[in-house]
Amino acid sequence: MARPALRVDAVLVQAVIAGALSFAHLHDLAAAAGQDGWKAWAYPISVDLLLVAAWRRLRVDGPSRLAWCWFVIALVASLGANVATAGLLDLDHVPAWLRILVAAWPALAFMGGTLLAHSATDPVPEPPAPATPGTEPGPELVTETDPEPEPEPLPAVDHTPALPASEPARAEPAPAEPAPASPVPAALVDHARKVADDHHARTGTPIDTDTLRARLGVPPQLADAIAAQLA
């Protein structure tokens, strides 16, 4: 498998050149302000690290006022060194205010790096949810909390001994209804009529129920039914 050929990125080359020049300008300004030896080389490293840390915070965590503030401070320090070493200042006679700024830079850069590394990210406001078509947002309903119900009083306990319950009155039996008269055969009725006529002819009086029952030899209920038919 063929390896891809190395391509020179013009933007990367430009970034390297700009970084080297800015690094050198910061070194020269620090050395002119009285920071000699290794201290003059530490200043450009501090400025570039603060610039990278602020930019990384913006890329990773999103927009942040803190990150933008320290990014601008580091960028002004870098650009200020480039402009100052371009001939605007006499590096052999640096003013006192510039010496103060250069001397105070380590503490300022340390504070900025600490805040960027350990501070919480500023919350980004979320966009409002789109309203559903055809509906308008109405006022929020305020629900009042129902008051807690008061405990109901306990019923009073009656300690009076209960009286023995009276026995329910016994229902009297209903009077028995007379049994329906059993149907009497027509032949038996004709025979009883002949017996009754014969008794009336001999005695001159109508036959009674007992005599009719005795003559026919039937039960009392049937005799009553036959007598009713003869009446």
For the stretch 136-171, pLDDT in tens is 555 554 445 555 656 666 656 555 555 555 555 565
Domain boundary among 59, 93, 118: 118
pLDDT tens for each residue of 68-93: 999 999 889 888 888 888 777 777 88
Q: Cα–Cα distances in Å, from 80 out to 23, 26, 86, 104, 178?
A: 12, 9, 10, 15, 135
Per the structure, how many domains does the chain have? 2
Are residues 114 and 191 both part of a single domain? no
Mean confidence (pLDDT) of the chain: 75
Are residues 30 and 112 both part of a single domain? yes
Are residues 99 and 196 both part of a single domain? no
Domain boundary among 67, 97, 118: 118
pLDDT at 142: 47
Whole-angstrom distance, CA of residue 6 vs CA of residue 19:
22
Confirm whether 5 is domain-assigned.
Answer: no
pLDDT at 161: 57
pTM exceeds 0.85 for this model: no
Confirm whether 29 is domain-assigned.
Answer: yes
Alpha helices in the chain (DSSP H): 10-32, 38-61, 65-83, 96-118, 186-203, 209-216, 220-230
Q: Which phi and psi angles does 161 have, rounded to 5°? A: -65, 135
Containing domain of residue 90, as a range? 10-118
Are residues 114 and 193 both part of a single domain? no
Are residues 110 and 205 both part of a single domain? no
Are residues 194 and 109 both part of a single domain? no
Confirm whether 220 is domain-assigned.
Answer: yes
Are residues 114 and 14 both part of a single domain? yes
Ramachandran region, residue 134 (left: φ > 0; alpha: ψ -120 to 50; beta: rest): left
Confirm whether 132 is domain-assigned.
Answer: no
Are residues 14 and 90 both part of a single domain? yes
Confirm whether 162 is domain-assigned.
Answer: no
> DSSP assignment, residue 129?
P
Confirm whether 178 is domain-assigned.
Answer: no
Domain boundary among 98, 118, 138: 118
Confirm whether 204 is domain-assigned.
Answer: yes
The model's confidence at residue 200, banded by pLDDT at 50, 70 and 90, is confident
Confirm whether 148 is domain-assigned.
Answer: no
pLDDT at 73: 92
Average the pLDDT over each of 13-22, 130-139, 153-162, 198-207 and give the range with the smallest value: 130-139
In angstroms and rounded to an integer, the radius of gyration of the C-alpha atoms of the chain is 65
